[in-house]
Amino acid sequence: MELLERNIEFFKAVTKLTAKQRSAIFKQLTKEQIHIIAEMAVNVLGGTIELGDKDKYRLGRYKSVIRKLSRRGVTSKFREAVIRTNPTAVSLLIEIVLEGLKNE
């Protein structure tokens, strides 16, 4: 949670960017930010973050991306590649997680 708190402004800003801007930002991610995004995916899959039916439906098309991000034993370079190739999915994941944290 501490890592997310340190980077919360970055993640809030990412959800408000255009697709082109997100792609550019995701090319400059730090290892810490990659780790936070992977942790978000783990928490969504594990049920730590409560999702409504609408959120589950919205994330449903990106389930393979979320599963790849949450895999154990993969390198941060692999996760970075997944994030770069799927900026829309990652942005949606971030948006839904931030909404879930705000509601808690």
Q: Contact 89/62 with Cβ under 8 angstroms?
A: yes
Q: What sign for the dihedral angle of Cα 93, 98, 103, 104?
A: positive
Q: What is the mean pLDDT of residues 8-15?
A: 92
Q: Contact 91/15 with Cβ under 8 angstroms?
A: yes
Domain ranges of the chain: 2-103
In tens, the pLDDT along 58-76 reads: 999 999 999 999 999 999 9
Longest dimension (CA), the chain: 33
Distance CA 40, CA 50 (A): 12
